[in-house]
Amino acid sequence: MEWNIAIAQMDIAFADPEKNKARVKEWIEQAASKAADIIVLPELFTTGYALDQMDELADEEGVDTITYFSKLARDYRINIVAGSVAKKTDDGIFNTMYVFNRHGAIAKEYSKAHLFRLMNEEKYLSEGQEGGLFKLESGPAAGLICYDIRFPEWVRTQMIHPKMTPNTLYVVAEWPAPRIEQWRSLLIARAIENQCFVVACNRVGSDPNNEFGGKSLVIDPLGNVIQEGDHTEQLLFATIETDDVHEVRENIPVFQDRRKDLYRL
Ligand SMILES: NC(=O)CCC(=O)C(=O)O
């Protein structure tokens, strides 16, 4: 299926959810006006890494995020990978991705599984316990949040689910500029080893602790970069053909050739 993607490579106003939500609405309007099927937003796009203010800023049970983005998805008939937001629950605060389909229904809620100590996440946030698989009209997909991409075993766990093999990985991030080449290499590796598309949205700009690197990417199942952002705010577009995944997997049948007798995954 031909699938038109928009990536909102945005700056994030620190600790200012209302400003960020208003800004994102504009990106969604623009993406929809250019016939995008889906728009992808960055990690913690409502608050940024205002971790020590999360008690006040985090969205109680995600209600505000669900109400706001479900309506936008429906109004603009666009699927939304709503990056991630801080979600407050009785079990702690999670770094949670919401995916809405174009009817406004929640297709997925996924909380970041691997917390990034270098940015103090483990001091303020709780770890997600479940995988990121979901389905849209374009077929099976999976969500990953930033540091998650450093764990190929976690990505592979999603890919070998008995009921569906994602054709696309959606990655949302606040990845700092000094390690941006690692971001690029890791994403290309995940695309090649899993023979799938990777659609990755990183923020730009800076907060009190980090400068962020942009370089949002769309990568095909052979590892070719088909769209790439620079380090400025921009709405990026790409069209992918999700059926290409089948040809690549037939040509080099990595999933069939796995030695399940030699390793556990
Ligand atoms: N927000 C994050 O998870 C950042 C991950 C990161 O920078 C890394 O190097 O890994």
User: From 2.40.10.10, 3.60.110.10, 2.60.40.150, 3.30.1490.20, which CATH number describes the 2-251 domain?
Assistant: 3.60.110.10
Closest CA to 49 of 139, 142, 112, 102: 112
Residue 209 has a pLDDT of: 97
Q: How far, in Å, is the centroid of ligand 1 from the Cα of 33?
A: 32
Q: Which residue stretches of 88-208 are H helix?
A: 121-124, 152-159, 180-194
pLDDT tens digit sequence for 37-50? 999 999 999 999 99
State the average pLDDT over residues 9-13: 98
Distance CA 63, CA 8 (A): 23
Mean pLDDT of the chain: 98
Residue 31 has a pLDDT of: 98
Side-chain-side CA neighbours of residue 108 (13 Å) = 25
Kindly name the residue from 87, 146, 196, 201 that is annotated as catalytic.
Answer: 146
pLDDT tens digit sequence for 206-220? 999 999 999 999 999
Confidence of residue 5 (pLDDT cuts 50, 70, 90): very high
Is ligand 1 within 6 A of the CB of residue 197? no
State the complex-level ipTM: 0.99
pLDDT tens digit sequence for 136-163? 999 999 999 999 999 999 999 999 999 9
Residue 265 has a pLDDT of: 86
Is ligand 1 within 6 A of the CB of residue 48? no
- pLDDT for residue 68 is more than 90: yes
For residue 174, indicate whether it is catalytic: no
Is the pTM for the entire model greater than 0.80?
yes
Residue 79 has a pLDDT of: 98
In degrees rounded to 5, what are phi and psi of residue 146? 45, -105
State the average pLDDT over residues 235-254: 98
Q: Percentage of the chain with pLDDT > 70? A: 100
Residue 264 has a pLDDT of: 86
